[in-house]
């Protein structure tokens, strides 16, 4: 079960048990363990999670996911704790400094020991990740927390992660975005985005080569079904400080396209809009990292050993096909989609890709990317596999008895054929007893069937004629990682008519039997969730499984009914027709066939704040005048708020051109997108008494400062390193107390309200501009007698370290040993963008275009 289904106390015990799973003594001898337990005061009844499961071993040996001679090594790695991995965020202002610190400091100062006591490399860059931006540590998370010698490195990781300079992420989870080949002008959809590490990667790719103060022409829509996971996604991506992101809350298999019909008129909220630049939401790139059984994350989530069974993968197959098909329908012709899972199960991997290829015909190509990322160890996809259900192995759909054909579908098999021949078991209406004690024989809390009693019905599994070897499998023992599956799909042409690809509908009256695939606690949770208010556009009750997400902790993932019945086919048909029909009727777009429930196209979604274009010209005019914002930053139509009452707006958000286009389309199409978060927080209302008397009520937010900084010409000052450092240390300094009296005088001449203090850079030529180097700057408040910092404690801590390092470097470069931080005599400086000189060096003014 994921975090949402447990109480706070239960979640605490769950986390503790996960941390303790790797604390088993080297010797498992119970006689040796008992005295140790007594001496340590540990509860002798406590048992760590088991790291074995006979059903798991039987299943994957039969599927031959690794050669027989590698099986022992494969299992050995699965039982080891996963090395910690993290990624330097290339969008960070200090990413080069962080990389140099890792290369020149921690790589040399840290040492690690292997299990046998031999010394190994403590931290190292992942060679397959570009520009040495991804790193792996041979220390487990527990070691990082407990080992005092690693305290400095651990504190470094924690600080940089909280600030947003690095992201802790499982190494294999970083792979799928790399194969999308994202460019700055691409529209990208992340269909199942939470917790957001991959979304962060996609945003970095969008922002690559973007100059400071500018925005890329592309954008990312990050979607997730669960509201709580959307909050996690928003928190994760907030560190990016981007105006090119929309976070939505939809079922991925029913993600809306906002198709704009020819006679559809604009929403009154945005007034008269000229012909929009886009009339349907389509994407250049789609990341389809679907919900899965998650057994590829066993090394970081060892509780999966206990609850693993093959039925979880079978139950997700249909949903995974639906999501993949919807992603391809939303993909532009010529676009690329990556399908990925953190599962090793071929029913969730190759079987889904094969079914999608069969449905799409020649319109979709499975891309061979074996030459890309040459340092990444990967294995080709499987071309043959079997399906296990109710303790039976099936090599072909024709062998499946009728009473199981509502669960085991043709698409799960390599050929995908629905054979006319009937099995000798077709006449049966009840399952056979496989062995005498099948119901009582359990291992780790789940049923285990004697494989010798339940052999396969066919000697050989079917072999797929499709080029599934172009898929990629990452296995743990190749590069000491988790397991992952990746397939890259290219859209050659529009999808074919659904009639040519859909299978004959089956009788929807037969219920899907999930009793064999779900533990009883999950079935109880399903009943509990069935009374919830979650929006279900399919009209069917959701079931729920626990997804082990490789980007974070175990998280819940909603799952719709997955049997390919008549309703299922109709939903897929509507999705595919949307792309092929020229002008579908609006009413057809607003209906979901299965549940006969209409999309909510009223003014706003229930429980979700509306997205409103901010049009108070008087307030906007005062903001532009107060900060001297240049015309180089487009404002008209780029400011939004989430508050209906324009007189009580607390926050104003800035959006890019690409996001503006999508929002306008969404309004015209009836607000089909349920938007959880959008825009970059640019301005916040100052609510203090002093703020109420300021000429401008809105201050620049820390998130928006990097974007707006090159475009402001007023309320900005340059501070020497020592004064800048003092501001970070003491948070508030009176005008006469600055080391540089000239700076204190200029500060007193600023208008009451928000101001920006920039760290002066030495040695910058007059031809330099902020397009070359982004300065270090902080938002402050010019009070009646002082300057106060408006920066979080974490940001202050990081900036203090950066400034201190700069001061030390500058000190070392001075042969005479003079203090470089104290301004020398004759230093000049003016306010509001004029030139500032230090030691005769002219500093580029802010007003330069």
What percent of the chain clears pLDDT 90, i.e. is strictly above it? Answer: 49
pLDDT at 349: 97
Whether 376 has a pLDDT exceeding 80, the answer reads yes
Residue 401 scores a pLDDT above 80: yes
More confidently predicted of 576 and 672? 672
Whether the bond between 148 and the residue before it is cis, its omega within 30 degrees of 0, is no
| pLDDT level of residue 566 (50, 70, 90 thresholds) | very low
Query: Minimal CA–CA distance to 507: which of 581, 566, 467, 435?
Result: 566
Out of 258, 288, 292, 342, pick the active-site residue: 342
Give the model's confidence band at 118: pLDDT under 50 very low, under 70 low, under 90 confident, else very high: low
Q: What is the mean pLDDT of residues 843-847?
A: 30
pLDDT band at 75 (very low <50, low <70, confident <90, very high): very high
Give percent of the chain above pLDDT 70.
67
When mean pLDDT is compared across 62-76, 219-233, 369-383, 604-618, the lowest value belongs to 604-618
Which of 323-337, 371-385, 387-401, 561-575 has the least mean pLDDT? 561-575
- Digit-coded pLDDT (tens) for 419-451: 554 444 444 444 444 333 333 333 333 344 343
Q: How far apart are CA 300 and CA 781, in angstroms?
A: 45
Of 202, 127, 203, 126, nearest to 170 (Cα)? 126
Query: What confidence score (pLDDT) does residue 807 get?
Result: 75
pLDDT at residue 513 is higher than 80: no
**What pLDDT score does 162 carry?**
85
Q: Looking at residue 542, what is its pLDDT? A: 36
pLDDT (mean) for 295-311: 93
Can you say which residues are annotated as belonging to the binding site?
Answer: 192-198, 224, 289
pLDDT at position 832 is: 33
How far CA 152 is from CA of 93, 102, 159, 424, 711, in Å, comes to 22, 12, 11, 67, 38
- The mean of the pLDDT values for the chain is 75
**Separation between Cα atoms, residue 142 and residue 152, nearest integer Å:** 15
Across 186-190, 223-227, 693-697, which has the greatest mean pLDDT?
186-190
471 is catalytic: no
- Alpha-carbon 227 to chain mean position: 14
The answer to which of 12-21, 98-107, 185-194 has the lowest mean pLDDT is: 12-21
713 falls in which pLDDT band (50, 70, 90)?
very high
What pLDDT is recorded for position 112? 61
Provide the pLDDT for residue 341.
97
Q: Let me know the angle formed at the C-alpha of 621 by 617 and 622, rounded to the nearest 5 degrees.
A: 125
> Does position 751 have pLDDT exceeding 60, yes or no?
yes
- pLDDT tier for residue 607 given thresholds of 50, 70 and 90: confident
Q: What is the pLDDT of residues 817-830, one digit of tens each?
A: 444 333 333 333 33
Least confident of 58-62, 293-297, 389-393: 389-393
Given a cut of 60, is residue 586 above it in pLDDT? Answer: no
Q: Is the pLDDT of residue 314 over 60?
A: yes
Q: What is the mean pLDDT of residues 36-55?
A: 61
Per-residue pLDDT, 559: 33
- Judged on CB neighbours under 10 Å (0-12, 13-18, 19+), 841 is middle
Residues 6+ apart with CB under 8 A from 648: none
Do 192 and 290 form a contact (C-beta atoms < 8 A)? yes
* Binding site as annotated, residues for S-adenosyl-L-methionine: 192-198, 224, 289
481-510 average pLDDT score: 72
Residue 109 has pLDDT above 60, yes or no: yes
Structure tokens at 616: 């108070």
pLDDT at residue 26 above 70? no
CB 623 within 8 A of CB 698: yes
pLDDT tens digits along 772-797: 457 899 999 999 999 999 988 888 88
């Amino acid at each position: 079960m994921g975090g949402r289904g447990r109480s706070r106390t239960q979640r605490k015990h769950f986390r503790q048990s996960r941390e303790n799973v790797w604390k088993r003594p080297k010797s498992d001898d119970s006689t040796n363990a008992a005295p140790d337990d007594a001496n340590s005061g540990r509860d002798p009844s406590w048992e760590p999670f088991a790291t074995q499961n006979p059903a798991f071993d039987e299943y994957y040996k039969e599927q031959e996911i690794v050669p027989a001679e590698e099986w022992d090594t494969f299992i050995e790695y699965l039982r080891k704790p996963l090395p910690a991995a993290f990624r330097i965020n290339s969008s960070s202002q200090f990413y080069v400094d962080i990389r140099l610190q890792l290369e020149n400091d921690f790589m040399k100062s840290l040492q690690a020991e292997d299990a046998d006591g031999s010394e190994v490399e403590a931290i190292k860059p992942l060679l397959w990740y570009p520009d040495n931006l991804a790193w792996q540590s041979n220390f487990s998370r527990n070691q990082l927390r407990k080992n005092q010698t690693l305290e400095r490195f651990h504190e470094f990781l924690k600080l940089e992660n909280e600030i947003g300079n690095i992201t802790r992420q499982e190494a294999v989870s970083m792979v799928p975005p790399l194969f999308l080949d994202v460019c700055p002008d691409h529209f990208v959809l992340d269909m199942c985005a939470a917790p957001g590490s991959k979304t962060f990667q996609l945003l970095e790719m969008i922002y690559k080569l973007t100059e400071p103060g500018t925005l890329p022409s592309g954008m990312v829509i990050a979607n997730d079904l669960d509201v709580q996971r959307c909050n996690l996604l928003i928190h994760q991506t907030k560190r990016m400080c981007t105006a090119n992101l929309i976070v939505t809350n939809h079922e991925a298999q029913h993600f809306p396209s906002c198709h704009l019909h020819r006679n559809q008129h604009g929403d009154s909220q945005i007034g008269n809009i000229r012909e929009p630049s886009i009339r349907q939401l389509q994407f250049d790139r789609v990341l389809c990292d679907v919900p899965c059984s998650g057994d590829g994350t066993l090394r970081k989530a060892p509780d999966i050993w206990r609850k693993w069974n093959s039925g979880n993968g079978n139950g997700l197959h249909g949903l995974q096909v639906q999501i993949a098909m919807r992603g391809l329908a939303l993909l532009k012709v010529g676009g690329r989609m990556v399908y990925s899972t953190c599962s090793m199960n071929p029913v969730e991997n190759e079987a889904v890709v094969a079914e999608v290829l069969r449905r799409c015909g020649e319109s979709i190509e499975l891309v061979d990317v074996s030459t890309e990322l040459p340092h990444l160890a990967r294995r080709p996809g499987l071309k043959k596999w079997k399906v296990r259900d109710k303790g039976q192995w099936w090599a072909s759909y024709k062998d499946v008895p009728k009473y199981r054909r509502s669960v085991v579908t043709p698409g799960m098999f390599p050929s995908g054929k629905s054979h006319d021949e009937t099995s000798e078991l077709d006449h049966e209406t009840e399952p056979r007893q496989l062995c005498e004690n099948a119901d009582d024989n359990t291992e780790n809390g789940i049923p285990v069937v004697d494989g010798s009693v339940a052999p396969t019905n066919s000697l050989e599994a079917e072999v797929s004629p499709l080029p599934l070897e172009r898929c990629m499998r990452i296995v743990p023992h190749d590069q000491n990682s988790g397991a992952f599956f990746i397939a890259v799909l290219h859209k050659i042409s529009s999808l074919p008519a659904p009639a040519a690809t859909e299978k004959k509908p089956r009788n929807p009256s037969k219920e899907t039997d999930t009793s064999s695939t779900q533990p009883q606690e999950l079935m109880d949770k399903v009943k509990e969730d069935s009374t919830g208010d979650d929006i279900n556009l399919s009209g069917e009750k959701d079931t729920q499984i626990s997804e082990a997400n490789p980007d974070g902790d175990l998280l819940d993932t909603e799952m719709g009914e997955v049997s390919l019945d008549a309703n299922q086919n109709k939903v897929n048909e509507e999705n595919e027709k949307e792309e092929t029909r020229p002008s579908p009727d609006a009413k057809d777009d607003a209906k979901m066939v299965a549940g006969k429930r209409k999309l909510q196209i009223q003014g706003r979604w229930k429980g979700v704040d509306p997205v409103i274009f901010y049009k108070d010209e008087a307030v906007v005019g005062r903001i532009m005048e107060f900060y001297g914002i240049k015309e180089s930053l487009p404002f008209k139509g780029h400011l939004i708020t989430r508050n209906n009452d324009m007189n009580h707006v607390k926050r104003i958000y800035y959006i890019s051109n690409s996001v503006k286009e999508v929002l306008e389309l969404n309004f015209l199409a009836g607000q089909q997108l349920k938007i959880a978060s959008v825009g970059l927080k640019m301005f916040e209302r100052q609510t203090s008494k002093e703020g109420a008397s300021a000429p401008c009520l809105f201050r620049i937010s820390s998130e928006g400062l990097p974007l707006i900084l090159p475009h402001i010409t007023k309320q900005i000052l340059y501070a020497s390193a020592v004064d800048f450092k003092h501001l970070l240390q003491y948070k508030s300094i009176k005008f006469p107390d600055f080391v540089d009296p000239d700076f204190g005088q200029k500060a007193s001449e600023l208008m009451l309200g928000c101001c920006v203090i920039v760290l002066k850079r030495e040695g910058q030529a007059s031809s330099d501009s902020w397009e070359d180097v982004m300065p270090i700057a902080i938002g402050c408040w010019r009070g009646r007698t002082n300057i106060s910092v408006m920066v979080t404690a974490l940001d202050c801590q990081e900036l203090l370290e950066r400034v201190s390092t700069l001061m030390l470097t500058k000190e070392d470069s001075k042969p005479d040993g003079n203090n470089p931080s104290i301004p020398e005599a004759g230093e000049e400086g003016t306010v509001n963008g004029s030139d500032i000189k230090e030691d005769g060096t002219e500093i580029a003014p802010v007003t330069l275009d």
